[in-house]
Amino acid sequence: MSKLVLRNVSRSFGDFAAVDDLNLTIEEGELVSLLGPSGCGKTTTLRMMAGFLSPTAGTIEVAGKVVSSPGSTLPPERRNMSMIFQSYAIWPNMTVAENVGFGLKIRKTPAAEARRRVDEILEVVRLGALRDRYPAELSGGQQQRVALARSIVVKPAVLLLDEPLSNLDANLREEMRFEIRRLHDEFRITMVYVTHDQAEAMVTSDRIAVMNKGRIEQIDSPYELYCRPKTGFVAGFIGRTNFLEGARRGDRVDFGGFSLPVATLGSEAPTRTATPPVAADANGATNGSGASDARVRVSVRPQCIQLHRTQPSAADHRFCVPARIERRAYLGESWDYHVGMPGLQEPLRVAARPQEVFEVDDEVFAEIDTSQVTVID
Ligand SMILES: Nc1ncnc2c1ncn2[C@@H]1O[C@H](COP(=O)(O)OP(=O)(O)O)[C@@H](O)[C@H]1O
Ligand SMILES: [Mg+2]
């Protein structure tokens, strides 16, 4: 049975729909993040899960039991969930161990057992040696670990985290992402993780629900989201990408100065054909055998284009287009080239390895890995 199920959940404030007909199923032991820009409804969704807020439509179920509906909402203290907020407020007048043990105390856990569980969790979050310190004597990361330990020690059915790392500096944030994933793996807690940071979501999550304007645009594994974005919003929000607009002409998509065969686009496991596909025709559109003229929008990641000085021979699902370097920036780990291609209004961004050096105005061949090109709605 699924752990947490949101069915057609909406929440309006006045006539503004902050969350709009959301459907989401989270399995036992899964870590799912809600990822989206500020104001898209992440916190509102989380607060409904926790019971701080009622939905204006729809239901929320935990382990098959309805806990929220417009008419009745089980209060937070009866949901066996823990929530960690942006400001993870630990009590300044309590030691680390007292902070962590507080939830057990109010649940009237016997002292010996409480002590054992607090010790255990402090070891896991590597705070054993600091158990008698006060929050003011801890670094930001250590305080964040106290908040995590305090939420986990009570063995919540679901742990909800709302941008828990946003008050930490960049290095610490990166370290804590792995820490949160490690804690999840160790305790297998069902977790919902809210963030606007795509890298954070990708490191921590089994699946990511990408939210936009109160709705989920796509929910998938980090790999699928990156490689198979279904909408332009998702393609642009998860990593960098190039958008191209073309017209469907027969079995090809025509981009003005070159065209690509529809069948190869986004086909991760290309079937080998007897005759290898020919290189894209730089002179423009191919035959339009009874073609519809439908517009097609595709996303091409900067690292799915490779630049060559001379034209390579055609290989399966790789297509070469003459191009010109218009701008370049050296980023240390890679080159960021802006490459003009026939028929395109905007140059394409190409990420190349540091040793692949081209000068501005160089005439090159841009090889597009069509299996990595995705057609989006
Ligand atoms: N109590 C409230 N009253 C009115 N509007 C609200 C309230 N809470 C949230 N909103 C609005 O709902 C939208 C979503 O907010 P929120 O869920 O906090 O977004 P996020 O967490 O994704 O940044 C925002 O436009 C916000 O202004
Ligand atoms: Mg928020």
pTM of the predicted structure, to 2 decimals? 0.85
Residue 43 Cβ < 6 Å to ligand 1: yes
d(CA 47, CA 65): 18
Distance 39 CA to ligand 1 centre (A): 6
Same fold across 4-237 and 242-376: no
Residue 210 Cβ < 6 Å to ligand 1: no
d(CA 338, CA 349): 5
d(CA 252, CA 285): 9
Residue 72 has pLDDT above 60, yes or no: yes
Q: Which pLDDT value is given to residue 275? A: 31
Distance 217 CA to ligand 2 centre (A): 18
User: Is 2.40.50.140 the CATH number for 242-376?
Assistant: yes
Helix (H) or strand (E) holding 298: strand 295-300
Ligand 1 atom 20 nearest Cα? 39
Distance 212 CA to ligand 2 centre (A): 13
Q: How confident is the model at residue 89 (pLDDT cuts 50, 70, 90)?
A: confident
d(CA 193, CA 170): 18
Q: Which pLDDT value is given to residue 377? A: 75
Q: How confident is the model at residue 144 (pLDDT cuts 50, 70, 90)?
A: confident
Q: What percent of the chain has pLDDT over 90?
A: 68
Q: How confident is the model at residue 113 (pLDDT cuts 50, 70, 90)?
A: very high
Which of the listed ranges 43-47, 104-108, 236-240, 280-284 does the model predict with the highest average pLDDT?
43-47
Going by DSSP bridges, is the β-strand pair 190-195/31-35 parallel, antiparallel, or unpaired? parallel
Q: Which pLDDT value is given to residue 210? A: 98
Task: Identify the residue with better confidence: 318 or 117.
Answer: 117
Residue 313 Cβ < 6 Å to ligand 1: no
Residue 191 has pLDDT above 70, yes or no: yes
Ligand 1 atom 4 nearest Cα? 13
How do residues 199-224 score in pLDDT, each as one tens digit?
Answer: 999 999 999 999 999 999 999 999 99
The number of CA neighbours under 13 Å toward the Cβ of 108 is 0
Q: Which pLDDT value is given to residue 285? A: 39
Overall average pLDDT of the 288-299 stretch: 70
Q: Ligand 1: which of 20, 38, 44, 47 to mutate, judged by most atoms within 8 Å of the beta carbon?
A: 44
Report the CATH number of the 4-237 domain.
3.40.50.300
The number of CA neighbours under 13 Å toward the Cβ of 41 is 25
How many residues appear in the chain? Answer: 377
Q: Domains of the chain: which residue ranges?
A: 4-237, 242-376
Residue 272 has pLDDT above 70, yes or no: no
Overall average pLDDT of the 248-252 stretch: 90
Q: How confident is the model at residue 372 (pLDDT cuts 50, 70, 90)?
A: confident
Q: Which pLDDT value is given to residue 370? A: 87
Distance 43 CA to ligand 1 centre (A): 7
Q: Which pLDDT value is given to residue 315? A: 62
**CB 167 within 8 Å of CB 87:** yes
Overall average pLDDT of the 155-176 stretch: 88
**CB 250 within 8 Å of CB 289:** yes
Biggest CA pair distance of the chain: 80
How do residues 59-71 score in pLDDT, each as one tens digit?
Answer: 999 999 999 999 8
Residue 138 has pLDDT above 90, yes or no: yes
Residue 300 Cβ < 6 Å to ligand 1: no
Q: How confident is the model at residue 270 (pLDDT cuts 50, 70, 90)?
A: very low
Residue 37 Cβ < 6 Å to ligand 1: no
Burial of 9 (0-12, 13-18, 19+ CB in 10 A): buried
Distance 113 CA to ligand 2 centre (A): 36
What average pLDDT does the structure give for the chain?
89
Residue 40 Cβ < 6 Å to ligand 1: yes
Ligand number with the minimum distance to the CA of 162: 2
